[in-house]
Copies of this chain bind each other. A is one copy, B any other.
Amino acid sequence: MQTRIFNNKQWFYVRRPDGRVGAEHYELRESAIDDSLANNEVLVQARYISVDPYMRIQQHERRTYDVPHPLGIVQRAGVVAQVLASASERFQPGDWVLGYNGWQLFDKCHANDLQKLDAEAAPVSTALGVLGMPGRTAWFGLMEAGRPRPGETLVVSGAAGAVGSLVTQFGKRAGCRVIGIAGGAKKCAYLLNELGLDGAVDYKAFSSADALAAEIQKQTGGVDIYFDNVGGMVTDAVIPLIKLRARIIICGTISQYDGGLDHPDLAPRMLQHMLFQRATIQGILARDFVARMDEMRAIVAPWVKNREIVFDETIVDGFDQLPQALNMLFEGKNVGKLLVRV
């Protein structure tokens, strides 16, 4: 069999951006690639190459949820491709596959790194969208972290994006009232007319978080679930509107990807750390556990009785001292529980 030669094109990531990313941070290189294959190797030709916000996170020099994307290699990315040649019995020429081959027209990779796609079941490009990583993010983010219940109000930022447009629809199917936030009248019309949402807010029409918050409050009356893809001013506006036991899902902070990750944080922009570490923030109040004091008492009361733990008190004598005593809390003058003995 004759060796075929293909003209490959590859985008190498060569320079870290500080701010907006652009062509100047890449180099387009051309080279020849043939179809000679080692055992289990497959030659694929890219048909759809993914472009995702997370790529910008990985371009930062510091550790985020990953080590930084190395310089001098092909930009990593999900790719929907077709098999041109195969030295694996699992793939035949013409097969549609999903791989992580990056920004290049042709690639040789191990058969184990490819996943066969069924072009009959769904359009192949959905393997990079609704039935791929963005869909997984939307589905599990909303269902697992958001725990939507019928009748609740779901607000989604970046609502017209790959993830947001799915979260909004999954939310509708879970019985939520769904309000989408997006930039511009065209996107908002899309949210209302194509996705069938209950409301849409064009954040670009507002110059401050307060003004934006007033509009969102008007449309929602309060937020049970906030699925956040953007961070920044939009999130500044939504967070004060949360209702009791609200769930906030930090899925992205795209408004900061071209600047806020490089430079000092402001406002709830620290939420990027929640994303990178998949961390949880939860507010708690003692009143929520009043009915469960027995559980605690069974364990802690013996420690108190046997003086196994320290429970120091700062005791102020004199009823007349009460307001000053309250003040002491904010001056840090107490150790342990502050009490006034009368």
Known: A49-B339, A258-B330. A300 touches B130 (CB 8 A): yes
We find that the number of chain A residues with CB closer than 8 angstroms to chain B is 132
Query: Please, how many angstroms separate the alpha-carbon atoms of A325 and B342 in the complex?
Result: 71
Chain A, 122-137, CB within 8 A of any chain B CB: 122, 125-126, 128-131, 133-137
A211 adjacent to chain B (CB < 8 Å): no
Chain A, 236-266, CB within 8 A of any chain B CB: 236, 239-240, 242-251, 254, 257-258, 265-266
Chain B residues with CB under 8 A of A20: 327, 330
Known: A285-B65, A339-B49, A342-B105. A129 touches B279 (CB 8 A): no
Interface string of A287-317 (1 = CB under 8 A from B): 0111011001101110111000111110110
Query: Please, how many angstroms separate the alpha-carbon atoms of A342 and B7 in the complex?
Result: 13
A296 touches B248 (CB 8 A): no
Known: A46-B342, A310-B195. A326 touches B239 (CB 8 A): no
Residues of A whose CB lies within 8 Å of any CB of B are 9, 11, 20-23, 25-26, 28, 46-53, 55-56, 65, 75, 103, 105, 121-122, 125-126, 128-131, 133-137, 139-141, 144-145, 160-162, 165-166, 169, 173, 182-184, 187, 190, 194-195, 236, 239-240, 242-251, 254, 257-258, 265-268, 270-271, 273-286, 288-290, 292-293, 296-297, 299-301, 303-305, 309-313, 315-316, 319-320, 322-330, 332, 334-342
A9-B319, A49-B339, A278-B283 given. 14 additional CB < 8 A pairs? A11-B323, A51-B322, A51-B329, A125-B315, A125-B337, A129-B311, A136-B286, A139-B296, A236-B270, A247-B280, A249-B281, A267-B267, A278-B284, A279-B281
